[in-house]
Amino acid sequence: MLTRLGRDRSGNTLAIIAAAIAPILAMVGGGIDMGRSYLSQSRLQQACDAGVLAARKRLGAQAAVTGEISPDVAETGQRFFNINFRSGSYGTEDRDFVMTLEEDLAISGVATVSVPTTIMQIFDFTVVPVSVECEAQIDFANTDVMMVLDVTGSMAEHNPGEAQSRLDAMKQTVANFHAQLAAASQAGSRIRYGFVPYSTNVRVGHLLRDEWVTGTWSYQSREQVADRKNPTTRTYTTGATKVSGDVKVTEYESYKASFTELDGYHCPSRPGSNVTTKEEQTAYEETPVVEPREGVRKEWTYVRTRTGQSYSTVLDDTTCIVRQHTYNNYVDTYKRVQEPSLTSEKEWRYAQIEYDVSDWRNIANGCIEERDTYEIGNYSAVDLGRALDLDLDRVPSSGNPATQWRPMIPSYIYGRALQWNGKGKFQTNEKITGEEYVSPVGLETAACPAPSRKLSEMTADELQDYLETLRAEGSTYHDIGMIWGGRLISPTGLFAAENADAVNSVTSRHLIFLTDGETAPLDLSYSSYGFEPLDQRRWSPDSPLSLAETVERRFAFACSEVRRKNVTVWVIGFGIALTDVMKNCAGEGRYFEAADAAELNASFAAIAESMSDLRVSR
């Protein structure tokens, strides 16, 4: 029986199945639990990527300045992570997400969860830890940025509540912007910057070739045609000489000096209060002294005794200082002299006069007058064959003055026939007279900003040195800023060879136009179109449009020409509300209004973010 039982195989299957149940359960349970773990890991990776991408986008390029992840950035990244991997998803526990700002300003993240097991708990495996890493970076590939910056006189003013001027705030913001792009640039990429500071004009002479500038040009000027001598008598007083007594000088009060374009800083009459002065004078006439020349020189000597106070005012920079002079029996003498003299009476011919300006690099200030143009009546059909100033890519033809630029020489310009006392009016016909007419030099209306810069790579120190040259002066002519900003960034114009795309790489081109005011030209200014009431190249006092309207329409046309060259235009109004002309120039989503320095920084950061390429780097 035992032999038969040993040979009997019936029931073996049951024993084998019983012995295999444990391994089978381990295999099936492990597969189920690992499948849940792999699914959790995949979705966790997606959530990690979403979190760092959202945080890096929110951080933008400001990380180069702040050097940290701000609370709002951290909250944005956490929110996107939470949305993509909700608490308890797939039965997970202990969800955690931590972000870090790396040295290269990427944002990295580490996400972890615990996946509780089901069947594997039988084998004492209760949880599967899951961890993923992620990283997001903003990169700037090859990028050209042309900054057209308003440096008119109003930029020296302060926005409400601001400690620094608009100009200083702009300089700091531009430096921050440069730091942002530099920190986020890819290895081997090229980021270049160009600058066009503008007001009444732009200074671009140093960027032009000799053959691009005419050798002769006619200016609204004057030349002397006569110098007559008229006999007269000159009377003057010599310096006083102390005889006896004392005088004490003390500062009585001070007040802010007045300023006008004609007189500059000066001290208006302001008599002292409670002034009590007693003066006793004794005068006698000496025998006249006859000089060994034609005419007689007469001389009187005066003796003066003073007791009491008198006052004098002196200008110290921009402050008027009132000094009190206290006299104690102070005796001095002085002389009054009368002698024959001759006065010169000059006679001038005021007209459009031609000058040899072939040495313009030495005699001009670097600002220019524009080439030929015309008074445009229909801006939807501009003839660029006549409006050469608006043909941004046209290269001047040597020997053809119509296509060339003309050096700006303020000392040549006179505004006939407007006198310094305000009498008279502008007239285009020549005039011969002894009268003195206004000039931009005397009026200080021939502003010439800091030199413009072509596109080039710049270090932070080079940028800072350049920004230090910017100063605030002049009137607001937006069109000339946009015209030269377009010329200096165009890949097909004057500097096509320098502005072309890098080898095997497309360049992203951007023009940032910043202003703090509406168009505000002045007919007394010497602008890039000459002395406009007399030259009348694009506008005249009889034009149907005002000078401001003419400038605005030319600005709008120039802006459209810049955009046609695949250049993205950004417009920022600093301390002002932008006009429709400015908004339309940039287009929806590409214009900003900044009330203060903080909002200005935010505007530039938004531009930097839009210029960048956001990507997952790990």
Same domain, 106 and 152: no
Residue 46's pLDDT band, with cuts at 50, 70 and 90, is very high
- Is residue 403, in this structure, part of any structural domain at all? no
Q: What is the mean pLDDT of residues 65-69?
A: 65
Report pLDDT for 274. 42
pLDDT band at 216 (very low <50, low <70, confident <90, very high): very high
Same domain as 92, residue 77: yes
Q: Rounded to the nearest 5°, which phi and psi values hold at 67?
A: 70, 20
Give phi and psi for 30, each to the nearest 5: -65, -40
Contact between 377 and 545 under an 8 Å Cβ cutoff? The reply is: no
Give me the pLDDT at residue 278, please. Answer: 44
What pLDDT score does 53 carry? 87
Question: Omega before 182 cis (within 30°)?
Answer: no
pLDDT value, residue 235: 87
pLDDT the model gives residue 119? 67
Is the sign of the CA dihedral 560, 561, 562, 565 positive or negative?
positive
User: Looking at the predicted structure, is the pLDDT value of residue 320 above 60?
Assistant: yes
Contact yes or no for 109/21 (Cβ under 8 A) = no
Same domain assignment for residues 130 and 148: no
Asked whether residue 353 is assigned to any structural domain, the reply reads no
Residues 125 and 147 in one domain: no
Residue 370 inside a domain? The answer is no
Among candidate residues 288, 311, 344, the one where a domain is terminated: 344
The answer to whether 275 touches 354, Cβ cutoff 8 Å, is: no
The reported pLDDT for the residue numbered 196 is 98
Distance separating the N- and C-terminal Cα atoms of the chain: 73
Distance CA 495, CA 487 (A): 8
Is the same domain home to 562 and 466? Answer: yes
Most confident listed range (259-263, 297-301, 472-476): 472-476
Using CA atoms, how far apart are residues 46 and 89, in angstroms rounded to an integer? Answer: 13
Give yes or no: residues 176 and 233 share one domain.
Answer: no
Q: Cα separation of 127 and 280, whole Å? A: 112
Q: Residue 389 falls within a domain, yes or no? A: no
Nearest 5°: CA angle at 374, between 386 and 385? 5
Is residue 15 one of the residues assigned to a domain? Answer: yes
CA–CA distance, 183 with 66 (Å, rounded to integer)? 12
Rounded to 10 degrees, the C-alpha dihedral 343/344/345/346 comes to -160
pLDDT surpassing 70 at residue 9: no
Taking only the tens place, the pLDDT of each residue in 252-276 is 888 888 877 566 788 877 654 444 4
> With bands split at pLDDT 50, 70 and 90, how would you rate the model's confidence at 315?
confident
Angle, CA 28 vertex, CA 24 and CA 30 arms, to 5°: 115
Q: 199 and 147, same structural domain?
A: yes
CB under 8 Å to 327, separation ≥6 — which residues? Answer: 245, 246, 247, 306, 307, 308, 309, 310
User: pLDDT digits over 217-250, tens only?
Assistant: 999 999 999 877 778 888 888 878 889 999 999 9
**Residues near 215 by Cβ (< 8 Å), separated by ≥ 6?**
356, 357, 358
Place of tokens 């390029």: 61
* Residue 405 falls inside a structural domain: no
- Name the β-bridge partners of 115: 128
CA distance 618 to 598: 33
Same domain for 279 and 292, yes or no, is yes
Are the C-beta atoms of 113 and 36 separated by less than 8 Å?
no
Whether the per-residue pLDDT at 37 is higher than 60: the answer is: yes
- The 10s digit of each residue's pLDDT in 544-593 is 999 999 999 999 999 999 999 999 999 999 999 999 999 999 999 999 99
Residue 335 β-bridge partners: 301
| 220 within domain boundaries | no
Cα distances from 176 to residues 135, 184, 463, 472, in angstroms, run 24, 13, 11, 21
pLDDT tens-digit map of 173-207: 999 999 988 877 766 788 999 999 999 999 999 99
* pLDDT range class, residue 281, cuts 50, 70, 90: very low
**CA separation for the pair 515, 305 (Å, rounded):** 61
Whether residues 183 and 77 share a domain: the answer is no
Show the 3-state SS of 397-409: CCCCHHHCEEECC
Q: Which of 100, 126, 131, 137 is nearest to 113 (CA)?
A: 131
Q: Do residues 155 and 579 make contact, with C-beta atoms less than 8 angstroms apart?
A: no
Q: Given CA atoms 300, 306, 311, 314 in this order, what sign does their dihedral have? A: positive
What is the number of structural domains in the chain? 3
Rounded CA separation 531/524 (Å): 7
In contact, 512 and 562? CB cutoff 8 Å: no
CB 227, CB 327: distance < 8 Å:
no
Strand, helix or coil for residue 66: helix
Phi, then psi, of 476 in degrees rounded to 5: -100, 105
CA distance 304 to 329: 10
Across the range 140-155, mean pLDDT stands at: 93
Q: 201 and 107, same structural domain?
A: no
pLDDT at 487: 98
236/519: higher pLDDT: 519
What integer best gives the mean pLDDT of the chain? Answer: 87
**Residue finishing a domain among 344, 360, 380:** 344
Picking from 40, 32, 215, 14, the residue whose alpha carbon sits closest to that of residue 114 is 40
Tell me the chain's radius of gyration from C-alpha atoms.
40
CATH number for the domain harbouring residue 195: 3.40.50.410
Assess contact for 261 and 323: CB atoms under 8 A. no
Statement to judge: residues 28 and 10 lie in one domain: yes
CA distance 348 to 414: 11
Number of C-beta neighbours around residue 169 at 10 A:
24
The model's pTM: 0.69
Q: What pLDDT band is residue 65 in, cutting at 50, 70 and 90?
A: low
Domain closes at, from 89, 120, 138: 138
Q: How far is CA 143 from the centre of its chain?
A: 19
Q: 462 and 602 share a domain?
A: yes
User: Does residue 35 form part of some domain?
Assistant: yes
Domain that holds residue 453: 143-206+446-527+554-575+595-611
